[in-house]
């Protein structure tokens, strides 16, 4: 049974989420402040974290930053009562996988959790034949969510991995931001293609020697991006 960590200081919302997640077959653990969230995330290693931004002691942004900087790739869905653009983009910039604004329906939260878990789950139907992508110095193991560049393993969030894998699968093709948003996020993210730009920026920081003059992930002005395969 998959375990969800709910981090929410408002007890009615926390209890509502716990109830609906248990009805959907998940095990739940909960925390009411940021410090307790980090302790539980590290000790219990949940399959996913539902993380409110406005929390006592440490806010959700700090919790997410600390987990990501410590090497945790547990999928995170952030919740907030604020609807402005800064919160959304900033949350995704520091490593969140998804974002929801209050008020929300419990059914929508469950659907988002299922979608994120489905995307981040390692799927090995035929373990003796692992699907691998090769492109220049990149080697990508799809089932293991692992990327090697020049033989060195890199760390990515699940969403960063999926974006890079999709770019490599469509190497040398120009891909629009709308196409990437649809293909990688699997649903309409309110048409906000800035989310794509944020994740491309993260990828470049990890795979490019010079982010201002990238070798691999090229910007096609006015359209989107292209992964350019290098001849070695």
Structure confidence at residue 82 (pLDDT): 62
Walk across the sheet containing 48-52 and list its strands: 27-31, 3-7, 48-52, 76-80, 98-101
Per-residue confidence at 201, pLDDT binned at 50, 70, 90?
A: very high
Burial 94-117 (b: 16+ CB within 10 A, else e): bbbbbbbeeeeeeeebbebbebbb
Give the predicted TM-score (pTM) of the model. Answer: 0.62
Structure confidence at residue 182 (pLDDT): 82
- Burial (0-12, 13-18, 19+ Cβ within 10 Å), 157: buried
- Is the predicted pLDDT of residue 85 greater than 60, yes or no? no
pLDDT digits (tens, 9 = 90+) for 126-157: 344 457 889 989 999 887 788 999 999 998 88
Average pLDDT of the residues in 19-40: 95
| Four-way CATH pick for 132-227: 3.90.1150.10, 1.10.10.10, 1.10.3720.10, 3.30.9.10 | 1.10.10.10
- Burial (0-12, 13-18, 19+ Cβ within 10 Å), 222: exposed
pLDDT above 90 coverage of the chain, percent: 53
Structure confidence at residue 176 (pLDDT): 93
With the C-alpha atoms ordered 109, 115, 121, 123, is the resulting torsion angle positive or negative? Answer: positive
- What are the φ and ψ backbone dihedral angles of 48, each rounded to 5 degrees? -160, 150
- Is the predicted pLDDT of residue 124 greater than 50, yes or no? no
Measured distance CA(37)–CA(191) in Å, rounded:
31
Structure confidence at residue 73 (pLDDT): 85
| Residue 159: other Cβ atoms inside 10 A | 24
Average pLDDT of the residues in 62-85: 83
Average pLDDT of the residues in 8-33: 94
Q: Which residue has the higher pLDDT, 70 or 200?
A: 200
- Is the predicted pLDDT of residue 187 greater than 60, yes or no? no
- Is the predicted pLDDT of residue 94 greater than 60, yes or no? yes
Structure confidence at residue 128 (pLDDT): 45
Q: What is the CATH number of domain 3-120?
A: 3.40.50.2300
108 preceded by a cis bond (ω within 30 of 0): no
Mean pLDDT, the chain, rounded, equals: 85
Measured distance CA(81)–CA(104) in Å, rounded:
10
Residue extents of the structural domains in the chain: 3-120, 132-227
């Amino acid at each position: 049974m998959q375990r969800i960590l709910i981090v929410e200081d408002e007890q009615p919302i926390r209890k509502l989420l716990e109830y609906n997640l248990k009805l959907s077959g998940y095990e739940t653990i909960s925390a009411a402040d940021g410090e307790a969230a980090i302790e539980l995330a590290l000790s219990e290693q949940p399959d996913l974290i539902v993380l409110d931004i406005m929390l006592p002691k440490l806010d959700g942004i700090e919790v997410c930053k600390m987990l990501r900087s410590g090497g945790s790739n547990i999928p995170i869905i952030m919740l907030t009562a604020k609807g402005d653009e800064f919160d959304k983009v900033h949350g995704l910039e520091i490593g969140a996988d998804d974002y929801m604004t209050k008020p929300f329906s419990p059914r929508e939260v469950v659907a988002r959790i299922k979608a994120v878990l489905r995307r981040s789950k390692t799927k090995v139907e035929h373990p003796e034949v692992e699907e691998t992508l090769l492109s220049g110095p990149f080697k990508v193991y799809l089932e293991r969510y692992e990327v090697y560049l020049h033989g060195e393993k890199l760390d990515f969030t699940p969403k960063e991995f999926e974006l890079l894998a999709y770019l490599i699968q469509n190497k040398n093709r120009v891909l629009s931001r709308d196409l990437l948003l649809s293909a990688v996020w699997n649903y309409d993210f309110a048409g906000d293609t800035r989310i794509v730009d944020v994740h491309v920026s993260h990828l470049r920081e990890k795979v490019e020697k010079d982010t201002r003059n990238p070798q691999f992930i090229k910007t096609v002005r006015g359209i989107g991006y292209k992964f350019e395969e290098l001849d070695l």
